[in-house]
């Protein structure tokens, strides 16, 4: 099914920019997309040349994901246009985008674990031979041919269950190639990969380029960007602010362009660092996730865990809170050792965890606002052992007012709230327990600017009240704004610690990405 | 069950209000059935028929209560009636071998606890799917019952106990039904008014979020299965005494009736929704219908069709909105549906 | 035009790969293991029990199990797509009864019509179930449960007061029940042919492979453009049709039928299929395995009788086997995924 091509070809007066889109394999010109009040992308342009690897960089929240989804046909742009080989196109569904030759490799590929590699590549469009049977020899040949083109060894007869993420990505790439994809977008492909697998992926990208495809490479790892890509487009706050050949940029410039604003840093707070030690993590290790993590958080202190996606920070938090069991090391809360693998024990010790995934882990979406707020405090809204509706309602009302949650009725399902208000419900749930230690994982992901600053204020007030706070965030401005101390995690290890005074955004990014230069000692 | 099967989906949330109306709809249906029965037969509301109606539905009703909680957490237990049978047989065996009724009861309840624990262990510790496990234990319990009593039947229980099958209490209430009502009251209290009960809904709707909120999902589910075993064992004892008979086929095939009663009571098969009130109403409707239909000479076999239609109806109505949209989508074919806009940036 | 060869990645996930290979191998050889078990149990019983006449007992077993094997084929297809069909026993009973009724009215009805009638009734029931499952999006557990009631009720209505006399059944049908082809019961041959055809379809045809995809990951299947609703509908029709055919065979073998025909079959079938290696959540397993699983259960049954262990142990053992089978599968895959976690992930930067 071919995508709809608009009849009128582009003339110079059309776009506000006089770019000649005809020269590009694919171009997104000044596209924008909003979801209700949230303006995910305001004005972004991306121009891809055949045979090039083009990096798309920017902080979390800059709009990269949404831009990619527009390429993938998941969303249609509200403003601006998309062009394929010079003609405007409408990618109104993923199937249409696929037919147009655009393939997106997501971080978590979805394969059929019970089927083998060859069937995964060809599912839904299997080649047939006489009598309608699957032409398995042809399938195997084609898969082997593609694998050879990519320079990768993967047995097409092998079931995909248990394959590493790296191999799963290769299969997705193979799928794209058999579909004659010309534009291949890779969304944070290296987050879960080892260095050997990353090297393999780079070779694959070279092959794709040599065959004339355009590869879009989204990554936070600037060293990889410079190693692989010829062009770089930087996005910031929903706009594409810079497009330049990689050779003409230094990583310093790149980082500054990504950040590009005055960073508000946390004002040094009196007496911070002198509170009692609330959390002590000693040589915490979980096989395959993180190694030898040791740090402390004191009362009244905000410690930030910075690092790239996939570095292992969420896993650390979840191990502390007892969601996962760690393999070695210990956790002590206010001097007492904490039982591992038991959220109940963690909560009894006074820990709360605001999880990274709000919808899956933080909230029961189909339940009411009231019930979500009360969920972790059910024992507190009882009288004579039975849950009292008035107590429950008052509890929820009190805390929703305190956090200024905007809602219609307490009985409404929490799914009807905006992202920001949903996050506040999660916070209400935990704050109402008056924890000694609050761990917040990505406190402002996917919420609007106004609520963002409200949440920041909440966290700061918490610390002022003597609560120990551990903040995990991939948004550096946020970490710098909130944290008294910043711990940088890279590939499962604690690689650097900054005090607030020492930290600069460049330094933190450098430490997180492993770029050696310019790290303040 | 929360497993996502090939085509089934959870109905949208706006239908919570529909569910709230579900209990109301049940009340209406109950009244209709009673009216129907009264019109069709003068014998409908007599003490005798009420007594026998309660007697007949007793075991199914009792077994429906623990199953309600289990289904709310998103699981299922198909071994309920087989446990009834096993317990009836163990009870009979023990009694026959001279242990005396009291000890026999204790032994039977212990067997229930053991069986329930087996289910609980396999489902929570090994993480096996509850449908498969309880099909296995259903077969196994029934089989062990067969081994225990073979083809023989134990009868001649002490008349002091078998009176529950022959004499009413409070003029027309059958003892088994009374037990059901008492248990229902307890279950309603636990489900709707305790912290544990509230947590069941959370587990059924999103067990990860429940776990992240400090709810001990596995321990809770294990206890539910343990209780199910005990309560079903109790139902088995009641069965044995009420019918003055223990035989290995006791309760055979009833598991599906129990599931039907629970689903018809408004408990969602996907988990996270339902009330004890709904199940009680469902029990009453089924009991009244059985009496009414028998009085007008609809055979129990024919009544089964009605059961099946009721069951379908109880799931179709919540899903009808989704189904309608689906049919329309089929008509406007060609569009691949795009996933909903996320809040990610 | 190929770029430099990418570095080999063999060593990195080797232990995990090995564990998964183990799991894969076990599932591939499971049917063979079951076949071996069957031979062992049968052989052991023959040797131990001199009065156990090997040959005629093989024939008896094959004959008795024909219906179960047939139903297992349809059930496999359904379960592979992550659904379940609990109505097969009722459908079988309805079909047997209806066909008997036809004979009641016309004892000379031709075989072809009889077969079509039986299959047709079954297919019709399956179609309704399939429609409700796919269009109304009702979980198949519930739909087939309801169908079980409704069909059995219909069965009773159709059959109330009606008795199918053996005399009404023509010899042509009854002889099917016991006639043999080179010593193998004809019915069994029929069933094997059906099973092989179904297995072949599922293994070698795109639509068959898509069934596995649907069970493996239903959402990914939709994204891959597989017509999920159509496929699921089809498997329910097939399951129903086979149950209908089973009804005709049942009639041929029993030569009489009442309204309890087929009661309880569904649970036996599901047990057999899972023991035979079909995952209860779909996505894997083979028709061959399922059929062998059904045969195994029947062989154990007979062995118990012959060994004069009370046949009462039969159900208990079947139940225990189901539990053992799924526990075993779970432990294998658990160990494999743990091995994966241990080896991939954190890289030690040089």
Residues A399 and A463 in one domain: no
Q: Residue A521: its pLDDT value, please?
A: 37
Nearest to A300 by CA among A334, A265, A274, A331: A274
A418-428 pLDDT per residue, tens: 888 999 999 99
Residues in B closer than 8 angstroms to A378, CB to CB, are 195, 198-199
Higher pLDDT: A8 or A478? It is A478
Three-state secondary structure string covering chain B: CCCCCCCCCCCCHHHHHHHHHHHHHHHHHHHHHHHHHHHHCCCCCCHHHHHHHHHHHHHHHHHHHHHHHHHHCCCCCCCHHHHHHHHHHHHHHHHHCCCHHHHHHHHHHHHHHHHHHHHHHHHHHCCCCHHHHHHHHHHHHHHHHHHHHCCCCECCCCHHHHHHHHCEECCCEEHHHHHHHHHHHHHHHHHHHCHHHHHHHHHHHCHHHHHHCCCCHHHHHHHHHHHHHHHHHHHHHHHHHHHCCECCCCCCCHHHHHHHHHHHCCCCCCCCCCCHHHHHHHHHHHHHHHHHHHHCCCCHHHHHHHHHHHHHHHHHHHHHHHHHHHHHHHHCCCCCCCCCCCCCC
Whether B7 has a pLDDT exceeding 80, the answer reads: no
Whether A203 has a pLDDT exceeding 80, the answer reads: yes
Please state the rounded mean pLDDT for residues A169-179.
Answer: 90
Q: Residue B325: its pLDDT value, please?
A: 56
Q: Is B248 part of a structural domain of the chain?
A: yes
* Touching C: A residues 230-289, CB under 8 Å: 287-289
Three-state secondary structure string covering A392-410: HHHHHHHHHHHCCCCCCCC
> Around Cβ A493, how many Cβ atoms within 10 Å?
18
Q: Rank B18-22, C206-210, C222-226 by mean pLDDT and report only the highest.
A: C206-210
Residues in B closer than 8 angstroms to C319, CB to CB, are 136-143
* Touching B: C residues 67-96, CB under 8 Å: 81-84, 86
Q: Is B249 part of a structural domain of the chain?
A: yes
Beta strand pairing call for A214-218 and A231-236: unpaired
Q: Is A275 part of a structural domain of the chain?
A: yes
CA B259, B260, B262, B263 torsion-angle sign: positive
Residues A186 and A37 in one domain: yes
Residues A380 and A420 in one domain: yes
User: Domain end: A259, A287, A310, which one?
Assistant: A259
Q: Domain containing B305 — which CATH number? A: 1.10.3470
- CA dist., res. A279 & res. A296, Å (int): 5
Token representation of residue B222: 């294990």
How many interface pairs between B and C have CB atoms less than 8 angstroms apart? 201
Residues A449 and A396 in one domain: no
pLDDT tier at A142 (50, 70, 90 boundaries)?
very high
User: Domain end: A434, A463, A482, which one?
Assistant: A434
- Up-side HSE of residue B77: CA atoms within 13 Å toward CB? 38
* Touching B: C residues 194-213, CB under 8 Å: none
Q: Residue B329: its pLDDT value, please?
A: 58
- CA dist., res. C327 & res. B98, Å (int): 38
Residues in B closer than 8 angstroms to C145, CB to CB, are 256, 259-260, 308, 311
Whether B322 has a pLDDT exceeding 60, the answer reads: no
Q: Is B345 part of a structural domain of the chain?
A: no
Q: Is A446 part of a structural domain of the chain?
A: yes
- CA dist., res. B84 & res. C87, Å (int): 23
Whether C147 contacts chain B with CB within 8 A: yes
The proportion of chain B whose per-residue pLDDT surpasses 70, expressed as a percent, equals 86
The rounded Cα B196 to chain-centroid distance in angstroms is 20
Tokens 């040599």 belong to A210
Q: Residue B336: its pLDDT value, please?
A: 35
Instruction: Enumerate the H helices of A327-418 as residue ranges.
Output: 343-348, 369-374, 389-402
DSSP C51-118: TS-HHHHHHHHHHHHHHHHHHHHHHHHHHHTT---TTHHHHHHHHHHHHHHHHHH-TT--HHHHHHHH
B271-315 pLDDT per residue, tens: 998 999 999 999 999 998 888 888 888 777 777 787 788 788 777
- Up-side HSE of residue A217: CA atoms within 13 Å toward CB? 31
Residues A159 and A276 in one domain: no
Q: Residue C14: its pLDDT value, please?
A: 55
Give Dmax over CA atoms of chain A in angstroms: 81
Residues A53 and A157 in one domain: yes
Whether B14 has a pLDDT exceeding 70, the answer reads: no
Residues in C closer than 8 angstroms to A288, CB to CB, are 341-346
Whether A40 has a pLDDT exceeding 60, the answer reads: yes
- CA dist., res. A288 & res. C347, Å (int): 8
Q: Rank A179-188, B152-161, B249-258 by mean pLDDT and report only the highest.
A: A179-188
Chain B touching partners, 3 or more CB pairs below 8 A: A, C
Q: Residue C235: its pLDDT value, please?
A: 97
pLDDT tier at A503 (50, 70, 90 boundaries)?
confident
| Best mutation target, C206, C280, C339, C340, to test chain A (most A CBs within 10 A) | C206
The minimum CA-CA distance between B267 and chain A, rounded to whole Å, is: 15
Q: Is A1 part of a structural domain of the chain?
A: no
- CA dist., res. A319 & res. A342, Å (int): 9
Query: Could you list the residue range(s) of the whole structural domain that residue A133 is in?
Result: 33-259
What are the beta bridge partners of residue A88? A83
Q: What pTM value is reported for the model? A: 0.84
Residues A378 and A337 in one domain: no
φ, ψ for residue A227, nearest 5 deg: -75, -30
Q: Domain containing A296 — which CATH number? A: 3.40.50.300
C6-28 pLDDT per residue, tens: 444 443 345 566 666 777 777 77
Q: How many helices (H) and strands (E) does chain C have?
A: 13, 2
Residues A439 and A429 in one domain: no
What are the beta bridge partners of residue A459? none
Q: Residue C350: its pLDDT value, please?
A: 17
CA B259, B264, B268, B271 torsion-angle sign: negative
Per-chain mean pLDDT for chain C: 81
Which letter does DSSP use for residue A278 in this model?
Answer: E
Torsion of CA B273, B276, B280, B283, to 10 degrees: 50
Query: Could you list the residue range(s) of the whole structural domain that residue B41 is in?
Result: 18-316
The minimum CA-CA distance between C105 and chain A, rounded to whole Å, is: 42
Q: Rank A446-450, C8-12, C119-123, C330-334 by mean pLDDT and report only the highest.
A: C119-123
- CA dist., res. A182 & res. A176, Å (int): 9
Q: Is B74 part of a structural domain of the chain?
A: yes
pLDDT tier at A198 (50, 70, 90 boundaries)?
confident
When divided into structural domains, chain B yields a total of 1
- Of all residues in chain C, the one with the smallest CA distance to B135 is C267
Whether C346 has a pLDDT exceeding 50, the answer reads: no
Contact, A50 vs A212, CB < 8 A?
yes
Token representation of residue C138: 């009702």
pLDDT tier at C52 (50, 70, 90 boundaries)?
low
How many interface pairs between A and B have CB atoms less than 8 angstroms apart? 100
Residues A123 and A193 in one domain: yes
Contact, B251 vs B88, CB < 8 A?
yes
Token representation of residue A327: 């393999």
Please state the rounded mean pLDDT for residues B23-36.
Answer: 89
Q: Is A5 part of a structural domain of the chain?
A: no
Q: Residue C17: its pLDDT value, please?
A: 63
Please state the rounded mean pLDDT for residues A27-32.
Answer: 91
Task: Please enumerate in sequence order all residues whose Cβ is within 8 A of that of B287, keeping only pairs 6 or more positions apart, or say none.
Answer: B53, B54, B56, B57, B61
- CA dist., res. C115 & res. C187, Å (int): 13
Residues A195 and A95 in one domain: yes
Task: Please enumerate in sequence order all residues whose Cβ is within 8 A of that of A69, keeping only pairs 6 or more positions apart, or say none.
Answer: A75
pLDDT tier at C317 (50, 70, 90 boundaries)?
confident
User: Domain end: A434, A463, A484, which one?
Assistant: A434
Whether A210 contacts chain C with CB within 8 A: yes
- From the list B127, B137, B305, the residue facing C319 with the nearest CB is B137
Q: Is A453 part of a structural domain of the chain?
A: yes
B156-208 pLDDT per residue, tens: 888 888 888 878 888 778 888 999 999 999 999 999 999 999 999 999 999 99
The minimum CA-CA distance between C44 and chain A, rounded to whole Å, is: 36
Q: Is B306 part of a structural domain of the chain?
A: yes
Higher pLDDT: A478 or B230? It is B230
Token representation of residue B315: 């799931």
Residues A479 and A506 in one domain: yes
Element (H or E) spanning C194, and its range? Answer: helix C186-204
Please state the rounded mean pLDDT for residues B255-260.
Answer: 87
Contact, C145 vs B10, CB < 8 A?
no
Whether B182 contacts chain C with CB within 8 A: no
Whether C280 contacts chain B with CB within 8 A: yes
Q: Residue C12: its pLDDT value, please?
A: 39
The minimum CA-CA distance between A202 and chain C, rounded to whole Å, is: 9
Residue environment code for B267-290, b if the CB has 16+ CB neighbours within 10 A, otherwise e: bbbbbbbbbbbbbbbbbbbbbbbb
Residue environment code for B33-42, b if the CB has 16+ CB neighbours within 10 A, otherwise e: bbebbeeebe
Which letter does DSSP use for residue A361 in this model?
Answer: I
Range from A502-516, B246-260, C200-214, C216-230 carrying the lowest mean pLDDT: A502-516
Whether A10 has a pLDDT exceeding 50, the answer reads: no
DSSP A231-275: EEEEEETTEEEEEEEGGG--HHHHHHHHH-SPPP-PPPPTTTT-S
Please state the rounded mean pLDDT for residues A203-207.
Answer: 90
Residues A392 and A333 in one domain: no
Q: Residue C313: its pLDDT value, please?
A: 78
B195/A361 CB distance under 8 A: no
C24/A125 CB distance under 8 A: no
* Domain positions in chain C: 53-342
φ, ψ for residue A198, nearest 5 deg: -65, -45
DSSP C230-296: HHHHHHHHHHHHHHHHHHHHHHHHHS---TTTTTTHHHHHHHHHHHTT--TTSS---HHHHHHHHHH
Residue A30 DSSP SS3: strand
Burial class (CB in 10 A: 0-12, 13-18, 19+), A325: exposed
Whether C102 has a pLDDT exceeding 90, the answer reads: no
B133/C323 CB distance under 8 A: yes
Angle at the Cα of A12 from the Cα atoms of A10 and A14, rounded to 5 degrees: 65
φ, ψ for residue A33, nearest 5 deg: -155, 130
Angle at the Cα of A362 from the Cα atoms of A361 and A365, rounded to 5 degrees: 90
Contact, C337 vs C343, CB < 8 A?
no
φ, ψ for residue A502, nearest 5 deg: -75, -25
Which letter does DSSP use for residue A493 in this model?
Answer: E
Q: Residue C340: its pLDDT value, please?
A: 55
- CA dist., res. C350 & res. C343, Å (int): 17
When divided into structural domains, chain A yields a total of 3
The minimum CA-CA distance between A419 and chain B, rounded to whole Å, is: 7
The minimum CA-CA distance between B213 and chain A, rounded to whole Å, is: 5
Q: Residue B340: its pLDDT value, please?
A: 30
| CATH class of this structure's domain C53-342 | mainly alpha
- Whole-angstrom CA distances from A64 to A101, A356, B344 are 20, 19, 10
Q: In this prediction, does ipTM exceed 0.90? A: no
Q: Rank A339-343, B12-16, C61-65, C320-324 by mean pLDDT and report only the highest.
A: A339-343
Whether C245 has a pLDDT exceeding 60, the answer reads: yes
Please state the rounded mean pLDDT for residues A51-57.
Answer: 93
Please state the rounded mean pLDDT for residues B17-35.
Answer: 81
C153/B140 CB distance under 8 A: no
- Up-side HSE of residue A156: CA atoms within 13 Å toward CB? 20
Q: Is A98 part of a structural domain of the chain?
A: yes
Radius of gyration of chain A (CA): 25
Q: Residue A16: its pLDDT value, please?
A: 41
pLDDT tier at C59 (50, 70, 90 boundaries)?
confident
Q: Residue C3: its pLDDT value, please?
A: 39
The minimum CA-CA distance between A124 and chain B, rounded to whole Å, is: 14
């Amino acid at each position: 099914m071919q995508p709809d091509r608009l009849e009128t070809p582009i003339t110079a007066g059309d776009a506000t920019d006089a770019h000649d889109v005809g020269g590009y394999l694919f171009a997104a010109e000044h596209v924008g997309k909003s979801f209700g009040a949230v303006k995910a992308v305001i004005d972004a342009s991306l121009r891809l040349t055949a045979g090039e690897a083009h990096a798309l960089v920017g902080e979390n929240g800059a709009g990269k994901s949404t831009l990619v989804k527009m390429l993938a046909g998941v969303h249609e742009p509200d403003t601006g246009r998309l062009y394929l080989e010079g003609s405007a196109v409408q990618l109104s569904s993923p199937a249409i985008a696929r037919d147009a030759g655009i393939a997106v490799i997501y971080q978590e590929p979805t394969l059929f674990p019970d089927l083998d590699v060859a069937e995964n590549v060809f599912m839904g469009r299997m080649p047939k031979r006489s009598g309608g049977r699957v032409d398995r020899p042809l399938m195997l040949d084609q898969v082997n041919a593609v694998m050879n083109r990519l320079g990768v060894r993967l047995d097409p007869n092998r079931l995909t269950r248990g394959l590493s993420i790296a191999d799963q990505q290769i299969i997705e790439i193979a799928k794209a190639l058999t579909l004659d994809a010309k534009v291949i977008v890779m969304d944070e492909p290296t987050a879960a990969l080892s260095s050997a697998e990353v090297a393999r992926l780079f070779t694959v990208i070279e092959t794709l380029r040599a065959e004339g495809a355009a590869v879009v490479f989204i990554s936070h790892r600037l060293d990889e960007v410079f190693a692989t890509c010829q062009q770089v487009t930087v996005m910031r706050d929903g706009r594409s602010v810079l497009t330049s050949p990689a050779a003409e940029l230094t990583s310093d410039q790149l980082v500054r362009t990504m950040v590009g604003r005055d960073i508000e840093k946390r004002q040094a707070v009196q007496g911070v660092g002198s509170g009692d030690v609330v959390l002590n993590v000693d040589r915490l290790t979980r096989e395959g996730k993180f190694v030898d993590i040791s740090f402390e958080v004191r009362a009244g202190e905000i410690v930030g865990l910075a690092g790239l996606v996939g570095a292992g920070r969420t896993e650390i938090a979840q191990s502390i809170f007892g969601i996962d069991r760690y393999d070695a090391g210990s956790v002590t809360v206010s001097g007492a050792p904490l039982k591992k693998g038991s959220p109940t024990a963690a909560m009894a010790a006074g820990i709360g965890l605001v999880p990274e995934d709000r919808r899956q882990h933080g909230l029961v979406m189909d339940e009411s606002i009231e019930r979500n707020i009360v969920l972790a405090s059910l024992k507190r809204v009882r009288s004579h052992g039975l849950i009292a509706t008035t107590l429950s309602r008052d509890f929820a009302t009190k805390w929703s007012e305190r956090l200024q949650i905007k809602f219609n009725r307490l009985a409404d399902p929490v799914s009807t709230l905006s992202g920001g208000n949903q996050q506040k419900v999660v916070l209400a749930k935990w704050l109402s327990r008056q924890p000694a230690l609050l761990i917040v994982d990505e406190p402002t992901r996917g919420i609007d600017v106004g609520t963002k600053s409200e949440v920041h204020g909440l966290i700061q007030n918490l610390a002022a009240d003597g609560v120990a706070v551990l903040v995990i965030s991939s948004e550096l401005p946020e970490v710098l704004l909130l944290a008294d101390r910043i711990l940088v995690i890279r590939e499962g290890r604690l690689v650097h610690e900054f005090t607030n005074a020492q930290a600069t955004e460049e330094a933190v990014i450098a430490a997180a990405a492993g770029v050696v230069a310019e790290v303040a000692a | 069950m929360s497993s996502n099967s090939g085509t089934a989906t959870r109905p949208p949330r706006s239908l919570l209000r529909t569910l709230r109306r579900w209990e109301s709809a049940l009340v209406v249906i109950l009244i209709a059935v009673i009216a129907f029965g009264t019109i069709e037969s003068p014998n409908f509301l007599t003490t005798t028929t009420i007594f026998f109606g309660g007697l007949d539905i007793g075991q199914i009703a009792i077994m429906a209560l623990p199953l309600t909680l289990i289904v709310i957490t998103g699981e299922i237990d198909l071994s309920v009636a087989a446990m009834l049978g096993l317990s009836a047989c163990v009870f009979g065996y023990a009694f026959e071998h001279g242990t005396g009724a009291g000890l026999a009861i204790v032994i039977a309840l212990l067997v229930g606890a053991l069986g329930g624990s087996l289910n609980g262990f396999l489902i929570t510790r090994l993480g096996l799917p509850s449908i498969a496990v309880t099909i296995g234990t259903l077969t196994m319990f029934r089989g062990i019952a067969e081994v225990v009593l073979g083809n023989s039947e134990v009868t001649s229980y002490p008349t002091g106990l078998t009176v529950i099958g022959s004499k009413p209490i409070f003029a027309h209430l059958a003892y088994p039904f009374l037990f059901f009502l008492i248990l229902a009251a307890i279950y309603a209290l636990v489900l709707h008014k305790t912290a544990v009960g509230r947590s069941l809904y959370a587990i059924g709707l999103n067990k990860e979020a429940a776990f992240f909120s400090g709810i001990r999902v596995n321990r809770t589910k294990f206890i539910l299965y343990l209780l199910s075993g005990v309560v079903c064992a109790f139902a088995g004892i009641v069965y044995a005494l009420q019918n003055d008979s223990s035989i290995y086929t006791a309760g055979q095939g009833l598991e599906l009736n129990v599931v039907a009663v629970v689903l018809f009571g408004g408990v969602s098969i996907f988990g996270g929704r339902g009330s004890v009130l709904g199940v009680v109403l469902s029990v009453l409707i089924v009991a009244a219908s059985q009496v009414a239909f028998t009085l007008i000479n609809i055979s129990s076999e024919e009544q089964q069709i009605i059961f099946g239609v009721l069951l379908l109806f109880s799931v179709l109505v919540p899903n009808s909105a989704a189904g309608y949209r689906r049919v329309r989508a089929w008509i406007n074919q060609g569009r691949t549906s795009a996933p909903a806009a996320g809040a990610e940036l | 035009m190929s770029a430099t060869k990418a570095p080999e990645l063999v060593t990195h996930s080797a232990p995990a790969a090995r564990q998964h290979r183990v799991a894969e191998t076990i599932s591939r050889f499971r049917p063979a293991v079951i076949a071996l078990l069957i031979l062992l149990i049968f052989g052991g019983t023959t040797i131990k029990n001199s009065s156990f006449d090997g040959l005629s007992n093989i024939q008896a077993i094959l004959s008795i199990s024909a219906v179960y094997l047939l139903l297992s084929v349809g059930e496999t297809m359904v379960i592979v797509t992550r659904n379940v069909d609990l109505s097969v026993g009722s459908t079988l009973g309805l079909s047997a009864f209806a066909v008997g009724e036809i004979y009641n009215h016309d004892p000379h009805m031709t075989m072809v019509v009889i077969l079509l009638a039986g299959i047709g009734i079954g297919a019709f029931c399956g179609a309704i179930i399939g429609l409700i499952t796919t269009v109304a999006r009702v979980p198949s557990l519930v739909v087939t449960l309801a169908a079980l009631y409704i069909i059995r009720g219909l069965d009773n209505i159709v059959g109330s007061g009606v008795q199918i006399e053996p005399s009404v059944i023509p010899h042509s049908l009854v002889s099917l029940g016991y006639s043999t082809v080179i010593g193998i019961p004809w019915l069994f041959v029929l069933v094997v042919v059906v099973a092989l055809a179904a297995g072949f379809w599922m293994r070698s045809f795109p639509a068959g492979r898509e069934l596995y995809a649907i069970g493996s990951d239903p959402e990914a299947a939709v994204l891959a453009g597989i017509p999920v609703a159509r496929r699921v509908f089809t498997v329910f029709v097939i399951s129903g049709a086979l149950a209908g055919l089973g009804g005709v065979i049942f009639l041929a073998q029993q030569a009489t039928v009442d309204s309890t025909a087929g009661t309880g079959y569904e649970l036996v079938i599901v047990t057999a299929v899972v023991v035979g290696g079909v995952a209860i959540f779909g996505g894997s397993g083979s028709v061959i395995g399922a059929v062998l699983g059904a045969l195994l259960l029947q062989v154990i049954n007979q062995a118990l009788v012959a060994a004069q262990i009370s046949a009462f142990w039969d159900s208990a053992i079947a139940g225990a086997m189901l539990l053992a089978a799924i526990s075993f599968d779970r432990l294998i895959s658990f160990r494999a995924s743990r091995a994966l976690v241990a080896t991939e992930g954190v890289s030690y930067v040089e």
